[in-house]
A and B are shown apart, each in its own frame.
Chain A
Amino acid sequence: MIDFLQLAITGLLTGGLYAMVGAAIVLVYKSTHVVSLAHGQFLAFGAFFFYIFITVLDLPFWAALPLTFLVAGAVGLAVERFSMRPLIGQPLFSAFLMTFAIFMTLDGIFQLILKGETRTLPRFLSAETLSVGGLNIPTGGMLSFGVALGMFFLLALFFRFTKVGLGMRATAEDHQLAQSTGISVRTVFSIVWIVSALVAAVAGISLARVMDIHYPLPWIGVKGLVVALFGGLDSLPGALLAGLILGILENLSAGYLDPLVGGGVGDVAAYVMLLLILLIKPFGLFGLKRIERI
């Protein structure tokens, strides 16, 4: 029992981070109806820039963080400006393929600058663990979990109450319709790519604190997609819930099934889940079902 709880809690804390990656993807989908593969790269680049600022340039934490946000936002904007904007008005599927092209381009650059090494972030948050009734809970993990929750709250407020947020939701419905009511689709695209790049960068920094910066880091983005799909592509609460469930399931299946089949279950669990979701409930837990007409 205590094993089970320990696994579940560790999974829950990782799940919070997956939820953040999922949130970045949901953000893009909610406002532009583009499903983005590229956010795994924003995540990795965010973590890498943070690493550069904090260890190579030796800046203090409070200076490194805003600088990372600045650079991550700039990368998001540049990517949007040169690749997504020419596709406004094109079929959504080519926009999806474009995010995939962005993923590949940035993937190559990431491999190039990483040079196959593993970079470790200094443990800038406390690495202690808290013991509650025989369970070990890492305090740093709890902190990133708290950051994830806070970010979800802010994003929900943003979409519900601010004018920009409402404009984004309108853009998602129909680009032309939104434009005719005076919303600038271009501005919405720019804002959403910057904001989602920031969210991904936060997720990347939190993840890199736990698992180091090494090559497969961008592929965590695929897990973010699983989360976004499971929760429903246009639902932020769905992404949170799905992220937590994925984290717990992954950890539990790795903990209990790995000894039986000889490892690697944790990696494949996410894909099994993805397949099941797509077959049983393609629009996710809270996603809107699209009705098609000829």
Chain B
Amino acid sequence: MLPCGVYNERYGQDMAVVRTKRHWGILILAIFFLYLFPVFNLQYFISLINYLCITIIIVLGLQIVTGFCGQVSFGQAGFMAIGAYTSAILTLKFGVSFWLALPLSGLSAAVIGLIGGAPSLRIKGFYLAMATLAIHFLTMWLIMHVEITGSTQGLHPAPPSIGDFQFDSDGRMYYIIVSVMLLMTYGAKNMMRTRLGRAFVAIRDNDLAAEVMGINLYRYKLLAFFISCFYAGIAGSLWAHWIQMVHPEQFTVLHAVWYVGMLIVGGMSLTAGAFFGVIFLRGLDELVMFSSPFLASTFPWLGTHPAASLGVTAFGLILMVFLIFEPRGIAHRWEIFKTSYRLYPFAY
């Protein structure tokens, strides 16, 4: 929906991601503020934003394969683990620099993702969800039982560096993570206006019809998995070098489940959905974390550490509420809101 008085006169305007001058202004201001943020030196928020950005990259990947292409994947945490471990092993054991290991870990996760996506050629919907779940468990089992990953000990990759400058604090890592996040967001946003994105949407809406129209299902479904796992791998690599610790406990099936939940809450099939979902659910998680000591002291029967279980319960309940009342997620509400304020003086 375009604002009142804005018309598309050329093809370029019709295809533009950022449409009006005001959009450009807001975008540049937002990015400027994002890069200026560490100056305020709010340690908690800096590490929170790092965490959010990494999760956004993962959920964007999930958005591509699930939201755009309609292939449900519960394997995102496993692919993230592959990226994290590749990056850690490359930098620790082979002395590759982080800047090369980052894209390589994305690529390796993507190649494994091709194997993970192979079942999608035969099955879909719930069956595919189960297959990706199985792949997650297999991946994690392999990681636990292979020598090079340090199995249950985990690995401790070094922070990235340029020359003598080490990105060893939250505030320094912030710039890398935010930059990569912005790049990946642009990638996802841009993809949706290309032939690839349109093919994905056609497959999501009806894969048989898409095939009849001449879309090569094999190619595009595998490509969706490839791209999505590339995102997960990149996020894994960033995670490994930010936390400086890789351990199988960081990539459990529960994480994969949260990512899918974020997608549902945020809204499938809009890039903004990943942002809304991640921020909303992570915010909820933080809220539970903060309130749990208080809850534990007020209601002693909850036990001493109710944070984890209360978080999971709240997550499940929120998911239920969204599935019943707004299956299209927060992003859909946001779209409605935008339409209404752009048309403001008029009813519709």
Contacts and interface: CB of A to CB of B under 8 A. Distances in A.
Contacts of A82: 320
- A contacts with B: majority SS: helix
B315 interface: yes
B309 A109 contact: yes
Interface residues of B, number: 45
Given A83-B320, A94-B327, A100-B257, A105 B313 contact: yes
B319 A104 contact: yes
A182 interface: no
Nearest to B209: A294
Contact of B303 (A98, A102, A107, A115): A115
B309 A229 contact: no
A129 interface: no
A111 B308 contact: yes
Given A90-B327, A94-B327, A109 B137 contact: no
Interface in A121-174: none
A221 to B, nearest CB: 12
B26 interface: no
B111 interface: no
A104 B327 contact: no
B145 A264 contact: yes
A248 interface: no
A259 interface: no
A169 to B, nearest CB: 20
Interface stretch (A5-13, A15-23, A204-212, A267-275): A267-275
Interface in B296-348: 302-303, 306, 308-317, 319-320, 323-324, 327
A1 interface: no
Contact of A282 (B127, B208, B212): B127
- B contacts with A: majority SS: helix
Contact of B324 (A87, A108, A279): A87
B319 A282 contact: no
Nearest to A91: B327
B183 to A, nearest CB: 31
B130 A109 contact: no
Contacts of B208: 292-294
Interface residues of A, number: 45
A261 to B, nearest CB: 6
Contacts of B316: 101-108
A96 B212 contact: no
Contacts of A83: 320, 324
A262 interface: yes
Given A109-B309, A264-B144, A268-B141, A278 B134 contact: yes
B58 interface: no
A185 to B, nearest CB: 17
Contacts of A116: 303
Contact of B119 (A96, A225, A278): A278
Contacts of A90: 327
Nearest to A292: B208
A177 interface: no
B119 A275 contact: yes
28 contacts: A35-B126, A83-B320, A86-B324, A90-B327, A93-B125, A96-B126, A97-B323, A98-B323, A98-B324, A100-B260, A100-B319, A103-B316, A104-B313, A104-B316, A108-B315, A109-B313, A112-B310, A225-B130, A229-B127, A264-B141, A267-B141, A272-B138, A274-B134, A275-B131, A278-B122, A278-B130, A278-B134, A279-B119
Given A87-B323, A271-B133, 5 more contacts: A83-B320, A94-B323, A100-B257, A105-B313, A105-B315
Interface of B: 72, 118-119, 122-123, 125-127, 129-131, 133-135, 137-138, 141, 144-145, 206, 208-209, 212, 257, 260-261, 264, 302-303, 306, 308-317, 319-320, 323-324, 327
Interface of A: 35, 82-83, 86-87, 90, 92-94, 96-98, 100-112, 115-116, 222, 225, 229, 261-262, 264, 267-268, 271-272, 274-275, 278-279, 282, 292-294
Q: Which 7 A-B pairs have the closest CB atoms?
A: A105-B316, A108-B313, A104-B316, A108-B312, A111-B309, A101-B319, A271-B134
